Structure 1
């Protein structure tokens, strides 16, 4: 089975306060063998990169309108006339608000949607085949 990996390096901004943000190099990862999820890897000052995983559809929807609740919330906005998408992450270890450039995130998402169209994720996992075999018995 051939797996597609869609990656994108980009610079996010970690919002520390309304006046202050710092650049954070990050990588967006999408793998067709894990078709419902998107992965963000942050390269921070710490030894280990920080990994976050959440539903792809959350990011797809969050490019257009606010969505999500709980640990991950995503919403589009404008900063100095630029389209950005904000991602709020919260965990027991703390919270982070990240700003990503909307055109780059959208372009990457489009590539993931070409790799595995929405609604086709189940087929990628082989669930349909397994069910067909069960029902055929």
Structure 2
């Protein structure tokens, strides 16, 4: 990984599954507004989600999100976990993740790109060029 990117792997618990699942958070200063979350479903095969880093930062301390991804501390049963609800046309999942591990990942993203300065790290010209360049 580059010094402007971070990746952290950990095990998570999916609703209804007693065996933990390998997951991977990722972040890069090249896409400063988003974080990635992937779940390994088979060796070499991952299901990936991307969502706003701000959603993750807020969800560490209070409920956040009203769309396909919602994050909240699990204050009802165990405050050491975060609860992520993921919804898509293909299904719905509830994931429990160790809160301290997510906090460490989030803090590292803020060290790379301070919260509120994301737009300073976004190369809009390159993004526009990539979106408008015809591909064969």
Same fold per superposition (TM over 0.5): yes
Provide the rounded CA distance (Å) in 2 between the counterparts of 1:79 and 1:10. Answer: 23
Q: CA deviation at 1:48?
A: 2.6
Deviant stretches of 4+, over 2 Å:
45-48, 78-82
**The structure with more strand, counted as a fraction of residues:** 1
State the partner residue of 2:13: 13
Unpaired runs of 5+ residues, structure 1, are 128-137
Provide the rounded CA distance (Å) in 2 between the counterparts of 1:5 and 1:47. Answer: 21
Q: How does 1:1-137 map to 2 (within 5 A)?
A: 4-16=4-16, 21-45=18-42, 48-78=45-75, 81=78, 83-127=80-124
Q: TM-score, normalised by structure 2?
A: 0.83
| Number of aligned residues | 124
Larger gyration radius, structure 1 or structure 2: 1
Unpaired runs of 5+ residues, structure 2, are 125-136
Give yes or no for contact 2:73–2:79 (8 Å, CA) kept in 1: no
